[in-house]
Each structure stands twice: as C-alpha cells, then as structure tokens.
Amino acid sequence: MKIVLLDGYTLNPGDLSWNELNALGECTIYDRTAPKEVLERAAGADILLTNKTALTAGHIALLPDLKYIGVLTTGYNVVDVPAAKERGIAVTNIPAYSTPSVGQMVFAHILNITQQVQRHSEEVRKGRWTNSPDFCFRDTPLIEILGKKIGLIGLGQTGYHTARIALGFGMKVWACTSKSRLQLPPEIKKLEIEQIFATCDIVSLHCPLTEENRGFVNADLLSLMKPAAILINTGRGGLINEQDLANALNEGKLYAAGLDVLSTEPPQADNPLLTARNCYITPHIAWATFAARRRLMDIMIENIKAFQNGKPVNNVVC
C-alpha cells in the first residue's frame, strides 16, 4: 500500500522514529504540505495521514485510490468526513493520547498565574532580588489554590483527569457535563454553566468545538465571573470570543487567563489577546510532550495495522 503523510514534522521533529510506519508500505513523509500541494502529493495514495492539513470534499473526489484517512489528532474537523464516508473511505483519529499532558498544562498555567513563576524568575534575572533589602522578594499577590473552586466545562477524559489533579491539590471541583449526577463521583459536583462561571475561582474549558458553542465564552458569560477569577483554555481556541475576553481582562473584570489555544493558529499579529492584561499564552503545546507524541505514534501504527487487517479501530463517526 502507498502511504503518504502530509505534515509529519509536528508529530516528529526528529526525536522519534518513522521505522514502524515505513514497514507498513511504500511510505512518503512530508514535513509540511501547503493547500495547493495536497492533490499532487496525495495522488495514488491508498492511505493518507494528516495532522492539520485540510482534506476537503474536492480533494477526496479527486483521489480515486484513497481507501483510508488517518487523522493524527483527536479532533478531525480538518477532514470532510461525510465526503469520505460517501466514498467508502475509512477515517480514524487518535483518541486520548494527550490526556495526561493536557491536564499537566492546565496546572502549569494555574500555578504560573497563582505563583507568578514566570514574572518572578524574570525579575530575579534583572537583579531585583539581589538588590532587595529582604531575604525574599515579591511584587505581586501570591494565591494558594487549596480550597479554591475549579469549574470544568466538559468532563471527558481530559476534563476528568484535570479534576483528579485538582482534587490532589485540595481544590473543590464542579463540572458542567452531560453526565448525570449519579455518574459522577461524590467529590465532583454538577452545576450549570452559568453557575460555574459565577461561583468558581478558576474555570477550565474541556469541551469540543462545535458550531453551536463557537464563541460561547463571550461578554455575557465573562461578566458573571468574579474579578479575582481565572480562565484556562487548553481545548479549542474557537470556544472563546477573543475580543470579549481581552476587554474583560483589560477592564479588570477577571484576574487572568491562561491559554494554550487561539482561534487562529499561528495567531494574527493584531489578535487582542496578545497584548491583553494578565493573559498568559503558550503556543498550542499542551499535547506535545515526548510521551504524548510517542503514544500518538503508537496508536497511529495500530490504527493502520487494524485497517490493513480488515478490522479498523478508532473510526470517526460523522
């Protein structure tokens, strides 16, 4: 089988091996593929692998040999799945590979904001501790998270993993989830979304992006938050109305935001969050630890093997 990977660099910038993939067929791996290059590079492929390179209905219609599309992420909105299904093309994704790493990033942001780790480290390098009259130096409030209320919007695998970490820190955990109260452990309380934004000290987003919830974190919802509250987003950038969040931060309507995702990536230079007060942004790296990428690679290989053996797994349902 001819296998083409359109954008392999993000998964493997050189610290992993492609040997197992190469063993599965005649394999061509591109670091990156521009939209205008997709058809030329995918021509003749039986198996097409993509991370963020979009595969439209137009592409799919012009690839008669294509039998399988492997999306190398959990989300699969880069592929026109109905068009693929209509052609009888299998589409799979990579579920749950990054759950521990994303939960870790949630708390990297929370701890950076509450302890001001980045700021104090930078100030030490400037000599402010060296020149301090006291044995310690601090110039921002430091916040203890023991007993704080964290609200999770979505309680899938990543949300639940984050809840477990929060409980380990002695936090009180609420969740907005489709699960019934009977399905939740007693230490996680169910609340409606407005209640979470109004009462929690920290709100963390863990829901998928759909057309129905795009930009749902808007001025109205943000206005419910306490001025000392913190918003965390390691899910999808499109969940937030970015101008509304920037306004809320700049006007002091909430204390801070920690974001690993934005609506457009890389962001436009005029994105209002890039200069917003107390807005801490990491460049979509929560998923990208070595361990998570190794798991992604392993699941990708198993997905392809299962398809080749006639028993596909991790099938995407449109």
Contact (Cβ atoms closer than 8 angstroms) between residue 55 and residue 66: no
What strands lie across the sheet with 230-233, from one edge to the other? 188-190, 172-176, 149-153, 202-205, 230-233, 256-259, 279-281
- What pLDDT score was predicted for residue 308? 97
User: How many other C-beta atoms are found inside a 10 Å radius of the C-beta of residue 306?
Assistant: 16
User: pLDDT averaged over the chain?
Assistant: 97
| Active-site position among 37, 194, 251, 265 | 265
- What pLDDT score was predicted for residue 317? 78
Tens digit of each residue's pLDDT (9 = 90 or more) over 202-216: 999 999 999 999 999
What is the percentage of the chain residues whose pLDDT exceeds 70? 100
Q: What is the rounded CA–CA span in Å between residue 257 and residue 280?
A: 6
Q: What is the rounded CA–CA span in Å between residue 195 and residue 304?
A: 44
Residue 228: CB partners within 8 Å, gap ≥ 6?
201, 254, 255
Query: What number is the average pLDDT over the span 105-121?
Result: 97
Domains annotated on the chain, with CATH:
2-95+290-308 (3.40.50.720), 99-281 (3.40.50.720)
Mind giving me the DSSP string for 81-148?
Answer: HHHHHHTT-EEE---STTHHHHHHHHHHHHHHHHHTHHHHHHHHHTTTTTT-SSSS---S-----TT-
Residue 53 three-state SS: coil
Global pTM? Answer: 0.93
What's the CA angle centered on 16, arms 10 and 18, to 5 degrees? 90
Q: Which residues pair with 233 in a beta bridge?
A: 205, 259
Residue 236 is a catalytic residue: yes
| Active-site position among 109, 161, 206, 236 | 236
Residue 284 is a catalytic residue: yes
Query: What number is the average pLDDT over the span 232-238?
Result: 97
Residue 35: CB partners within 8 Å, gap ≥ 6?
53, 54
Amino acid found at 9: Y
b or e along 145-177 (b: 16 or more beta carbons within 10 Å of the residue's beta carbon)? beebbbbbbbbbbbbbbbbebbeeeebbbbbbb
Tens digit of each residue's pLDDT (9 = 90 or more) over 66-100: 999 999 999 898 999 999 999 999 999 999 999 99
Is it the case that residue 318 has pLDDT exceeding 90?
no
| Active-site position among 109, 120, 206, 284 | 284
User: How many other C-beta atoms are found inside a 10 Å radius of the C-beta of residue 284?
Assistant: 18
